[in-house]
Chains A and B, each alone.
Chain A
């Protein structure tokens, strides 16, 4: 699946988008896999309460099942308007 990062999450991880091969069942499982990779992921995902997630471009939550999701995006709380 494609994993996207925005705002300071993108800056901490150092890239806007990457292709990830995973069998994670939930968003939280996917985060655990990413955090286990490298320190920069650990830094970005240190406080999940400061993050929001979208699955296939719809706002979701960390316990959501990934199913056949094609795109998961992580970002800080939005500041539109």
Chain B
């Protein structure tokens, strides 16, 4: 259900294997986060995490989603380490009988991953490095659930 890894992942292969055996699920929704360049100045995005806590925190978020919506499955992959613009950072996928549950659960997972999973991003720009600050709107996004 949850993978925390430094290596890249193959989105197509992951979605194929996620969908296998879910024939009674009519909807699979996935979201992929990609490292975005900042005005051509981003050399790398370094992602730090808390190894002892990360997988447990992601599993708790996934279990929470399974309890709130009628889902056939949830998958979360989140990478750490040094990534460059265009690299995939993470993905979530949800499977449900109907699309509404799958879409909503995917949004819920993303909102919680942003603010409740122990990852920290540091941008390495051409003229120095800086930690990415959490945004107030990310915290606000949790309140709708």
Contacts and interface: CB of A to CB of B under 8 A. Distances in A.
A75 B33 contact: no
A7 B56 contact: no
Interface residues of A, number: 17
Contacts of A77: 115, 133-134, 139
Given A7-B122, A80-B90, 13 more contacts: A6-B120, A7-B120, A57-B50, A57-B52, A57-B53, A57-B56, A59-B57, A73-B118, A75-B118, A76-B131, A78-B116, A79-B133, A80-B115
B113 interface: yes
Interface of B: 33, 48, 50, 52-53, 56-57, 78, 89-90, 110, 113-122, 131-134, 139
B127 to A, nearest CB: 18
A54 B22 CA distance: 36
A80 B53 contact: no
B53 A79 contact: no
A30 interface: no
A67 interface: no
B115 A78 contact: yes
A81 B53 CA distance: 16
A71 B52 CA distance: 10
B120 A75 contact: yes
B118 A81 contact: no
A74 to B, nearest CB: 11
Contacts of B133: 76-77, 79
13 contacts: A7-B120, A7-B122, A7-B131, A8-B131, A57-B50, A57-B56, A73-B50, A76-B134, A78-B119, A79-B119, A79-B121, A80-B90, A81-B114
A80 B52 contact: no
A76 B110 CA distance: 19
A76 B78 CA distance: 19
Contacts of A7: 48, 120, 122, 131
